[in-house]
Amino acid sequence: MTALFPVQIALQMPAHSAVGHLLTYAAETRLAPGTLVRVPLGKRELLGVVWDEPAADEAPHAQAGLQLRPIAGVLDGIAPLPDAWRRLVAFAARYYQRSIGEIAMAALPPQLRELTPEQLARRLKPAKAAAKAAAADAAPAPVALSAEQEQVVAQIAAGAAERPFLLYGSTGSGKTEVYLRCVQAALDADPAAQALVMVPEINLTPQLEARFVERFAPQYGAGAVVSMHSGMTGPQRLKSWLAAHTGQARIVLGTRMAVFASLPGLQVIVVDEEHDASYKQQEGARYSARDLAIWRGRAQGAQVILGSATPSFESWHASRPATAQDPGGRYLRLHMPSRIGAAELPRVRLVDMTQQPRRAVFSPPLLAAITERVQRGEQSLVLLNRRGFAPVLYCADCEWKSDCPHCSAHQVFHKGDRTLRCHHCGFTQRVPPACPSCGNPDILPLGKGTEQLEEELVRLLRNVQRPDHAPARVARIDADTTRAKGALEEQLAQMHAGDIDVLVGTQMVAKGHDFRRITLVAAVQPDNALFSSDYRAAERLFCLLMQAAGRAGRDAAYLQAQGSRAEMWIQTRDPQHAVFSALRSHDYPAFAAQQLQERADAGMPPFAYQALVRADARTQEDAQAFLHAACQAAREAGLPGLDEVFLFPPIPMTIQRVANVERAQMLLESLDRMALQRFLHAWQPLLHQLRAQPQHRPLVRWLVDVDPLAI
């Protein structure tokens, strides 16, 4: 009889399923940790990762009384996942209160979960047969560095991987060139070295990939640079993952998912626009890719470079210089205050909308400034972080609003296809010909969206001509106009080519893009972002506006040739607000100091640590009842860390119903991160027990969000 060895396998199991982190199966031979296998679970066959090497006392005879199911197959065409990768996954699961398998499977390409060992072997043959592309073109000559860039590159080289670097560089200061030089140095020094470069959003990857391919493909081959993001097809993601895992890819560019890429030779990690909230996963395992990148760099001895013109307050506080009273932060702060080519930061102009015509979307001074730019052949960017034509339709007779029948939110009016869409659950319906409540045919849009701004600008600029006497051209970039494959790249290409005079867009065009001909940026309704109970609202708005302002005036030679000056226009009803005052002087340090002092006084992050426990149920009462019971159970059990953790009462979420599911939340806060972690770890079994009780059967799901960004 063939001896069988027990192996611990990580499978796709949500933490709230209470099945456990690892399941035990039988293998005919000892399998190395990190080996990919296919195993039966119920009637299904799933992809799994061998997690623990069997101990000496786990010999087959020791398991005689235990009937283990055998593994179905081994994906031996792929080398075992390295120990460093498994340690990263285990830490993420432990810190973010998820199961190991849930993190591990989310980190692997989806297509890998679907392939049998035989299918994978066939897929690997072409990859192995393909020779590495030879360098056909000479590498472009590196651009000359500014004095600030040279100093920063030298500091990073001298600092090795001792602690993370926070590169605080003005918009247009040349942070990307610093990244390129640091990656180049690592790859030149070690033939097996790899680099991970992360960006917050998919739309930023094409232009970054183009720069990295141009720089590194001639020297290291066409396959040296690969991308990883959710916009890629299954085969594309699998190909990139395999290239990174085998070491063929020297550089991986990607969004937050790329932090889990298997990179055995990782030596440099770059997190560009590190302040961006997109680095925090908002579904499933709610990890922060930026924070995991820092942990991974320390664990693997890799350099970590965080870059931003508006760093997150957490990173800014962590990079504070040492003083006599303060030993300083864990990061080393590097500063590049000057723009490349002596380009000036845009002048900020505030328009007090209380002094403008009541219904004006664009104030007369702003409209005149945009018109002047079009007539000179320059480009303008108009920012409004709300897509659609209007946030809501409204009946003045009976006060009916276009509420979503499945969510506690309005359906947004999209005029282009005459639909009402819920941006939370996706429910879509045609615009009614009359008010569904009273029959009034005169239902009106309330508020403004990017679609309405585009229509208004087309109307206002209909008689304005460019220098070549062609009419002004207005375009819009948001989630609605970029759904088709290749649509975003096409629109960005038109913008770079000068085929668009005025671009209307959401935050997706406000950061990272290098538009050389934009001389004016306008934020038409930024005040809405300040009407929020979220203590991060001011920080987010400042970062968004500062990043948007950075799209203007990036080419000093162009400005000089045009005889123009870059400007940022802000239409507001509160021009004295601290956000706008700091923005006028481009004084991020002063704004951060003021905001951090307020947070220190209030005991908020980064001076405290938080977690959210959320419960979803068919009724709000059921959701809150579970959270109340969880709080009571924690107190009765006297869980470790409880005396250092404050539990706030459960409350409904801001949007409490989504897709007919009611949502409640409970905030946990502590001055000690470890105490909070001890408490959460001890609390998990109690939450599972409560979920199984009959009175909590109406509960749909529960989840824990560690270090939440939205409360």
Measured distance CA(688)–CA(685) in Å, rounded: 5
Contact 314, 609 (CB under 8 A): no
Per-residue confidence (pLDDT) for residue 488, from 0 to 100: 86
Measured distance CA(252)–CA(240) in Å, rounded: 8
Q: Which of 630, 621, 637 is nearest to 666 (CA)?
A: 630
The mean pLDDT value for 369-374 works out to 96
Residue for token digits 């087309």? 458
Residue for token digits 């104030």? 363
Judge whether residue 18 has pLDDT over 60: no
Contact 11, 46 (CB under 8 A): yes
Phi, psi dihedral angles at 167 (to 5 degrees): -90, 100
Characterise 342 by phi-psi region: left (phi > 0), alpha (psi -120 to 50), beta (else).
left
Q: Which of 358, 344, 304, 337 is nearest to 553 (CA)?
A: 344
Q: Which of 36, 6, 8, 11 is nearest to 99 (CA)?
A: 11
**What is the pLDDT confidence band of residue 638, given thresholds at 50, 70 and 90?**
very high
Contact 9, 22 (CB under 8 A): yes
Residue for token digits 């030298």? 154
User: Helix count (H) and strand count (E) of the chain?
Assistant: 19, 28
Phi, psi dihedral angles at 67 (to 5 degrees): -90, 105
Reduced 3-state DSSP string for 629-686: HHHHHHHHHCCCCHHHEEECCCEEEEEEEECCEEEEEEEEEECCHHHHHHHHHHHHHH
Classify the C-alpha dihedral 692-696-701-702 as positive or negative.
negative
Between residues 703 and 161, the one the model is more confident about: 703
Per-residue confidence (pLDDT) for residue 117, from 0 to 100: 76
Measured distance CA(43)–CA(48) in Å, rounded: 15
| Cβ neighbours of residue 160 closer than 8 Å, sequence gap 6 or more | 303
The mean pLDDT value for 110-118 works out to 83
Contact 162, 331 (CB under 8 A): no
Judge whether residue 123 has pLDDT over 70: yes
Contact 612, 604 (CB under 8 A): no
Residue 38: what residue type?
R
**What is the pLDDT confidence band of residue 628, given thresholds at 50, 70 and 90?**
very high
| Cβ neighbours of residue 428 closer than 8 Å, sequence gap 6 or more | 419, 420, 421, 422
Which DSSP category does 69 fall into? P
**What is the pLDDT confidence band of residue 121, given thresholds at 50, 70 and 90?**
confident
Per-residue confidence (pLDDT) for residue 63, from 0 to 100: 46
Task: State which H helix or E strand residue 314 sits in.
Answer: helix 313-318
Task: State which H helix or E strand residue 293 sits in.
Answer: helix 289-300
**What is the pLDDT confidence band of residue 59, given thresholds at 50, 70 and 90?**
very low
Joined tokens for residue 378: 């320059």
Measured distance CA(416)–CA(570) in Å, rounded: 27
Judge whether residue 154 has pLDDT over 60: yes
Which 3 state secondary structure label does DSSP give 301? coil
**pTM for this model (two decimals):** 0.92
Per-residue confidence (pLDDT) for residue 19, from 0 to 100: 58
**What is the pLDDT confidence band of residue 2, given thresholds at 50, 70 and 90?**
low
The mean pLDDT value for 253-274 works out to 96
Measured distance CA(156)–CA(165) in Å, rounded: 7
Q: Which of 492, 512, 510 is nearest to 500 (CA)?
A: 492
User: pLDDT tens across 406-464, in order?
Assistant: 999 999 999 888 999 999 999 999 999 999 999 999 999 988 999 999 999 999 999 99
Q: Which of 8, 19, 92, 20 is nearest to 58 (CA)?
A: 8
Per-residue confidence (pLDDT) for residue 62, from 0 to 100: 44
Joined tokens for residue 181: 């030089």
| Cβ neighbours of residue 690 closer than 8 Å, sequence gap 6 or more | 626, 629, 630, 633, 696
Judge whether residue 127 has pLDDT over 60: no
Measured distance CA(502)–CA(512) in Å, rounded: 18
Which 3 state secondary structure label does DSSP give 92? helix
The mean pLDDT value for 18-39 works out to 87
User: pLDDT tens across 77-93, in order?
Assistant: 899 999 999 999 999 99
Compute CA distances 275 → 257, 280, 313, 414, whole Å.
Answer: 16, 10, 8, 31
Q: How many residues does the chain have?
A: 711
The mean pLDDT value for 34-61 works out to 78
Measured distance CA(442)–CA(482) in Å, rounded: 32
Radius of gyration of the chain from its Cα atoms, rounded to whole angstroms: 27
Judge whether residue 710 has pLDDT over 90: no
